[in-house]
Amino acid sequence: MGTAAAPWKQLLFGAIEANSHLKHSSYAQLATIGVNGRPSNRTVVFRGFEEKGERIQINTDLRSRKIQELKQCPFSEMCWYFSDTWEQFRINGKIEVIDASNPDQNKLQLREKAWFANSLKSRMTYTCPAPGMPCNSEQPNQEVKLDPSSGPVADYCLMLLEPEKVDYLNLKSNQRLLFSSMISGTGEKCWTSEKVNP
């Protein structure tokens, strides 16, 4: 049993670094609770940590199903498997969705910053027809011009996943560590870890 500030973060940085030669190493699967109460699961792209924080940044479209799901239940588990080093991180926590209607200027700035961190091609996806809606092949997609200097479009959302528990498994060393967070009396977030059977 040990206590430290986000000790799993070093393990995760190590895994990201060691697997960075693989394009898919920034892909992870995000599970949420569907509006029908059943599990929902999809691949998302890790967009880095919030500056000076441990929240995980993910982009999404306001019109995607996960937005409705997170409104009903904000909890999620992100399962991130690194195929070269055989490491798995199960990151459990609450997700905050920041869309254009957010009243907090600081949050809108975070969203804008994340928007510009994306390639122009990625930004273009938020101007496409609504994801998951029937394909209207009669009506060809209209070419939307997107100025590289223009800010986030209305349907662009930044999601912030705040880790509460991290379950780390290393299939090469056959070790497993459970990291759990607590809020201390002074309001600080503390992490403890425990070695468990893989």
In the DSSP assignment, the letter for residue 72 is H
Q: How far apart are CA 67 and CA 24, in angstroms?
A: 24
Q: Which is nearer to a copy of itself, 109 or 174 (CB)?
A: 174
Give backbone dihedrals phi and psi of 117, rounded to 5 degrees, phi first.
-75, -15
Smallest distance, Å, CB 160 to a copy of itself?
16
Give backbone dihedrals phi and psi of 47, rounded to 5 degrees, phi first.
-110, 30
In sequence order, the β-bridge partners of residue 95 are 161
Binding of residue 134 to a copy of itself (CB under 8 A):
yes
Site string for a copy of itself, 75-114 (x = CB under 8 A): xxxxx-x-x----x-x-x----------------------
Q: How far apart are CA 53 and CA 55, in angstroms?
A: 6
Helix (H, G, I), strand (E, B) or coil at 99: coil
Binding of residue 37 to a copy of itself (CB under 8 A):
yes
Smallest distance, Å, CB 70 to a copy of itself?
11
By CB under 8 A, name the binding residues for a copy of itself: 22-24, 27, 29-34, 37-43, 73, 75-79, 81, 83, 88, 90, 92, 128-135, 137, 176, 178, 194-198
